[in-house]
Amino acid sequence: MSATRITVKGDNPYDVVIGTGVLGEAAGLLGDGVRTVAVVHPGTLSELAGPVAEALAAAGYEVVPLPVPDGERAKTPQVAAELWSAFGRHGMTRSDAVVGVGGGACTDLAGFAAATWLRGVKVVLVPTTLLAMVDAAVGGKTGINTPEGKNLVGAFYPPAGVLCDLATLASVPRDDYVAGLAEVIKGGFIADPEILSLIEEDPAGAATPEGPHTRALIERKVQVKADVVGADLRESGLREILNYGHTLAHAIERAEDYRIRHGEAVAIGMVYAAELSRLDGRIGADLVERTRAILTSVGLPTSYRRDAWPELSDHMRLDKKNRGAKRRFVVLDGLAEVGRLEDPSPELLTAAYQEVAR
């Protein structure tokens, strides 16, 4: 099957290329004038980054491999500074480029480093996990973490292109793959219910890259995100819907010191957001139960520790959607109908968490 190209529109449009055996297309996305390419990748993924680096070298680029730590340990100011120093040592100019190969943490870091080096150099992202393919690498959000929270330092910086080679998913551990499904499922609840139907039809198949609907699920979720970010790159309105489930999720990640998988936290966060929606009179119990049922069917968590609420509530005060002292949540007004909950009462927030902690 030939590769699918989904265009993310906006002031700087780019393509997300989805298929098997597409890593060689990285050079074609870089365009003219590039001399040096820094290939940023987790040290444990050298075998996956190797073919990308070889294809770039064969195309005539000077390739500089730059390994970084795995996972969220890469998304620190210190690691970003180490990349900037490496860019300087190798004489990277504004006409050169960065290629990020790896999971969402690596593509976030590579995008941020590219956005800030010389105030912006070209970047191509090659996500190698389900989560990165359907979410982190698409949309132009880059960022690193601080002790105060996740992704609080970053930039909106669209890549020159994104390559999703489905063959790389074969090496993703099952638990990591299932965690990535949370973002796919989120896309079903906020925009494309056909995603939910495909998973309900074959939940066991959805939980593996060999499933019959894998490519369709990935393409549909990428299309959801492309449609949203193409209309609202800088999260001034519409793009906020992509944060469904993320307010509590980010608080859980911080409470767990990022040892919990992002998708697992998002799954719990979606149940919380659905319960908020129900308790605020926006949706019925059936949609909440459908949320739990779909998440459970693929092996994702739907509850969290009862005693964690004071800490989580405190962490949620520092959320990008908040305005001053007013908290804001993305909620559902119906299936594929997204609303905003402005400044909810503490009693409502606590009651919704009690349903998650049951």
CA distance 341 to 354: 18
Q: Is 291 annotated as a binding residue?
A: no
Compute CA 37 distance to the chain's CA centroid, rounded to the nearest angstrom. 24
Query: What are the residues facing 165 on neighbouring strands?
Result: 19
Which tokens is 97 given? Answer: 């480029």
Q: Is 246 annotated as a binding residue?
A: yes
Beta bridge partner(s), residue 40: 66, 100
70 is in an annotated binding site: yes
- How many Å apart are CA 194 and CA 217, to the nearest integer? 9
- Catalytic positions are 119, 141, 183, 225, 235, 239, 243, 246, 250, 262
Q: Tell me if 150 is assigned to a ligand binding site.
A: yes
Can you list the alpha helix ranges (DSSP code H) found in the chain? 26-30, 46-58, 77-89, 104-116, 130-131, 174-190, 193-201, 203-206, 214-231, 246-255, 262-279, 285-297, 309-315, 346-356
Task: Tell me if 108 is assigned to a ligand binding site.
Answer: yes
75 labeled part of a ligand binding site? yes
- Is 282 annotated in a binding site? The answer is no
Q: For residue 25, say whether it is annotated as part of any ligand binding site.
A: no
| 96 is an annotated ligand-binding site residue | no
Beta strands 14-19 and 4-8, pairing class: antiparallel
- Is 74 annotated among the ligand-binding residues? yes
Residue 105 known to bind ligand: yes
**146: part of which helix (H) or strand (E)?**
strand 141-146
- Sorted by sequence, the CB contacts under 8 Å of residue 124 that are 6+ apart come out as 26, 29, 30, 97, 98, 99, 100, 159, 160, 161, 162, 163
- Is position 141 annotated in a ligand binding site? yes
| CA-based nearest residue to 156, from 132, 139, 168, 169 | 139
164 is in an annotated binding site: no
Take residue 206 and report the two structure tokens written for it.
Answer: 């959805």
Residues that constitute the known binding site for Zn(2+)? 183, 246, 262
Q: Binding site for NAD(+), residues?
A: 70-75, 104-108, 128-129, 141, 150
Question: Which residues define the annotated binding site?
Answer: 70-75, 104-108, 128-129, 141, 150, 183, 246, 262
